[in-house]
Structure 1
Amino acid sequence: MAPDPHQPPAPLRGVYLLRPFAAAQSRGYLKIGLQKAGAQPREWLLPVGLGLNFFVDPEQTGVTLSFAPGEAALERVGRGTAMLARLRRRFKTLSLGVLNFDGVKIFPAGSKRQYKTYCKHVRFARISQTPPDGDIMREHPELITGWPPAAPAGAPATITPTPRIAVALHLHYADLWSEIATLLGRWSLPFTLFLTITSENKDLTSRVTAAFPGAIVRIVENSGRDVRPFLLLLEEGAFDGFDFVCKIHGKKSVSHGRVLIFGDIWRRATFLDLIATGAQLHKIIRLFQDDPKIGIAGPARFFIVSDSAAPRDLLGNNRPVVEEIAARMGAPIQGDTFDFFEGTMFWARPQALEPLRRLQLSAAFQTSDAGRGNGALEHALERLFNHAARAAGFRAEQVTGTII
């Protein structure tokens, strides 16, 4: 990132207020350049939210900060404001939202509610090994910026026997199709795409079938989010005759304090682990082929687990429904060990999901539940795919598209 020749990089002395402008806010991130004295400049990507400003607090002198013209404004604050800002970020609950870019602390300057919301997002990003100030963002900036439209071709198909692959994609937000099409276009192994959408969209349908001939597009009622459409396909036998099915969906955050980029990071990190490259596809297929006991595989960074060493209540308000469905599968919940892939995206053998298929649960969803959080049937089922695989005699495996 070349700094504006009419605005040289600002040497940081004290605490500053960073105000991202509309272009950066609508995009969801601000590119900043930081340089320590005697070191090479480095570029970072700061997640920003609508209406959210930031304090910038360098730990040492001799640091300069730059950004593209028209992207933001940087203003030094008074001593009193600086003291309050530093005091605020030292509170345990608020320190979670502090990002450390090359020794420069950047943290929200908004209301207490905005600060806590940002902290919650940053905390989850750290737990899932996708912190904006971590090395993963330098190695995979596409987690914030998205993948470029022109993608390299996948590696030659060398897996034998050639597996029969189904991709079950639920897409409520049609604008995410281009991103997913870019990634699926990198594959060299053949697959059949099953796309479920919640309303008629002739333009999207024509784009999908043009990019992936043979794709099957279904309109389903907007109920049960991505879970019910997948169950409908499973119960109707759409995956019969396939060796593996990849379940993905166009996850997008549309609330939670309007820091939407964190939802994009979650989705793209999941895609990185499951579908982003031909090499990752081959890695996952070989994993299944080499171990016939693997029934389901999902992203390690979103593998949520409790056991006797670290008992946690992973079921919450979903517990009554989870326990009832597990019992109907003939595999009651027992002991402290429990796990699931948060976000409900994974690879699976269709036969590993047979215990759920037999229950025909797609008919149990209610349209009045749309938009409900924990306690809705789809959230209970999110926690039962791994359990179903084990009930069928398989086990769950974690995968990653990068070293974490």
Structure 2
Amino acid sequence: MGKPENNAKGVKGFFTHLITLLWWHLPIKREGRKRIKDFVFTRFRPLFCHTKVYRNWKEADMLSGITYNENDVDYPAHWPSVGHGKIRQPSPVAVDTSPIDDLAIILHVYHVEIMHEILRYLVKPSNQKVKLFVTCPHEKAEEINGVLSNSHIYHELLAFENRGRDVLPFLKACAVAFEQGYGLILKLHTKKSDHRMAGSIWRKEIFNALLPAKARTDIIEIFNGNPSVGILGPTGHIVPMSLYYGANAKGIGYLCRRLGVDTRELHDMAFVAGSMFYARKEAILPLLELDMPDAVFEPEAGQLDGTMAHAYERGFAISSYAAGLWIVDNRFDPRNPQPAITTNHRFTW
């Protein structure tokens, strides 16, 4: 028989999970959920002030109302001090307007079976020069190398510690791809989202928008014809930053400080949910040049939210903004460059 305290924790965890499921499956849109939390946490603060969901709400509220002041925030000790190291001042960058005729696809593989879905798109004939950079944990490298060798796709395999989800390996692979002269990146990963029953639908929607040969051709033409486009994501998966902070407000505020962005400007920003998108080199460089140590990213422990990797998913948009570049979707129209913003993303908790 288990110890009483362990049984109590198990019961508490079960009910917490049950309440979370009920909350997210109520037929209430994201904006309505925010209004409910604003009302409940403001009027009944003493009942909730010691809960994690209240702390997340409070940190997001701080981001919305004031400039995030490092002196007011208890950053984890393993995050480099904002007052030390590189701090970039936002300013429009000079974009390389040379015609883009090649593409670096950076694919992080954790679920090898899903990698096969992606490779099926890439083995079909196309008119792009594509190099596939595959990142993975060390323990999966041998299996993945065998799959890639049989695919006859031009590739490079980069194995890393299983840390930072798809984000830290992506940053490391970006440095390699940029060094090799690639100026346009397609970021992909073998998304499974086991905590979301619709995870496979989400993944296929994104793959179908970004991966077919014609889609790649059309998107490269968008970047060639519009130097102000920094990041392009799939239509229907671009969401407002202010409604989707989750448990990441502290990390987002930290990245804003490092990038020199006033957090009040987050209200008008959007990011790509699912973290799969095309990006111009200049949109990623502000974030990459922060040169953050690997230790900033938490070791993998099955976290669903609240890690530095989750903050960086939003941080790519902040980086593009800091460079003076737009975020658009794949239905981009230069006469109206604003992307279609989805305020009630059906795949995101």
Shared fold per TM-score greater than 0.5 = yes
TM-score range, shorter chain: 0.5 to 0.7
Indicate yes or no: 2:152 matched with 1:221. Answer: no
When residues 286 and 387 of structure 1 are mapped into structure 2, their CA distance, relative to the original with a 3 A threshold, is same
Residue 100 of structure 2 contacts residue 184 of structure 2 at CA under 8 Å; is this kept in 1? no
When residues 313 and 228 of structure 1 are mapped into structure 2, their CA distance, relative to the original with a 3 A threshold, is same
The structural deviation recorded for 1:214 is 3.5
TM-score computed with the length of structure 1 as normaliser: 0.55
Residue 318 of structure 1 contacts residue 379 of structure 1 at CA under 8 Å; is this kept in 2? yes
Counterpart mapping for 1:269-280 below 5 A: 269-275=205-211, 277-280=212-215
* Distance in 1 separating the partners of 2:25 and 2:210: 27
Quick check: which has more Rg, 1 or 2?
1
Indicate yes or no: 2:106 matched with 1:168. Answer: yes
* Distance in 2 separating the partners of 1:226 and 1:391: 22
1:244 counterpart residue number: 184
Q: Which of 233, 242, 254 is the matching residue for 1:298?
A: 233
1:286 counterpart residue number: 221
2:249 counterpart residue number: 319
* Distance in 1 separating the partners of 2:258 and 2:166: 22
* Distance in 2 separating the partners of 1:231 and 1:316: 23
Residue 130 of structure 2 contacts residue 154 of structure 2 at CA under 8 Å; is this kept in 1? no
Residue 160 of structure 2 contacts residue 169 of structure 2 at CA under 8 Å; is this kept in 1? yes
The structural deviation recorded for 1:358 is 0.9
Q: Which of 320, 330, 341 is the matching residue for 2:260?
A: 330
Residue 162 of structure 2 contacts residue 300 of structure 2 at CA under 8 Å; is this kept in 1? no
**Which one has a larger percent strand, Structure 1 or Structure 2?**
1
When residues 121 and 254 of structure 1 are mapped into structure 2, their CA distance, relative to the original with a 3 A threshold, is farther
State the Cα RMSD in Å: 3.0
Q: Describe the SS at the equivalent of 2:320.
A: helix
Residue 274 of structure 1 contacts residue 280 of structure 1 at CA under 8 Å; is this kept in 2? yes
* Distance in 1 separating the partners of 2:295 and 2:205: 31
Counterpart mapping for 1:180-259 below 5 A: 180-188=118-126, 189-198=128-137, 199-234=139-174, 236-240=175-179, 241-256=181-196, 259=197
The amino acid of 2:183's aligned partner reads D
Residue 340 of structure 1 contacts residue 386 of structure 1 at CA under 8 Å; is this kept in 2? yes
Moved more, 212-221 or 115-124: 115-124
Q: Which of 317, 327, 330 is the matching residue for 1:399?
A: 330
When residues 123 and 274 of structure 1 are mapped into structure 2, their CA distance, relative to the original with a 3 A threshold, is farther
* Distance in 1 separating the partners of 2:166 and 2:235: 20
* Distance in 2 separating the partners of 1:204 and 1:288: 31
Unaligned runs of 5+ in 2: 1-17, 31-97, 333-339, 343-349
Counterpart mapping for 1:80-91 below 5 A: none
Residues 309-343 of structure 1: CA deviation (Å, up to 9, x unaligned): xxx44324211221111111122322421211011
When residues 265 and 355 of structure 1 are mapped into structure 2, their CA distance, relative to the original with a 3 A threshold, is same
Residue 209 of structure 2 contacts residue 215 of structure 2 at CA under 8 Å; is this kept in 1? yes
The amino acid of 1:192's aligned partner reads K
2:117 counterpart residue number: 179
When residues 330 and 367 of structure 1 are mapped into structure 2, their CA distance, relative to the original with a 3 A threshold, is closer
When residues 391 and 265 of structure 1 are mapped into structure 2, their CA distance, relative to the original with a 3 A threshold, is same
The amino acid of 1:182's aligned partner reads R
Residues 358-388 of structure 1: CA deviation (Å, up to 9, x unaligned): 1122523445453223221011111111110
The structural deviation recorded for 1:290 is 0.7
* Distance in 1 separating the partners of 2:171 and 2:131: 17
* Distance in 1 separating the partners of 2:171 and 2:257: 19
When residues 289 and 386 of structure 1 are mapped into structure 2, their CA distance, relative to the original with a 3 A threshold, is same
* Distance in 1 separating the partners of 2:293 and 2:184: 21
Q: Describe the SS at the equivalent of 1:348.
A: strand
Alignment size in residue pairs: 246
* Distance in 2 separating the partners of 1:330 and 1:117: 36
Q: Describe the SS at the equivalent of 2:129.
A: coil
Counterpart mapping for 1:340-355 below 5 A: 340-355=271-286
The structural deviation recorded for 1:204 is 2.6
When residues 400 and 122 of structure 1 are mapped into structure 2, their CA distance, relative to the original with a 3 A threshold, is farther
Point out which structure has higher relative CO (alpha carbons under 8 A, 6+ apart): 2
* Distance in 2 separating the partners of 1:172 and 1:369: 12
Residue 223 of structure 1 contacts residue 370 of structure 1 at CA under 8 Å; is this kept in 2? no
Q: Describe the SS at the equivalent of 2:287.
A: helix
Moved more, 358-367 or 246-255: 358-367
TM-score computed with the length of structure 2 as normaliser: 0.63
Residue 284 of structure 2 contacts residue 316 of structure 2 at CA under 8 Å; is this kept in 1? yes
Residue 163 of structure 1 contacts residue 243 of structure 1 at CA under 8 Å; is this kept in 2? no
The amino acid of 2:173's aligned partner reads L
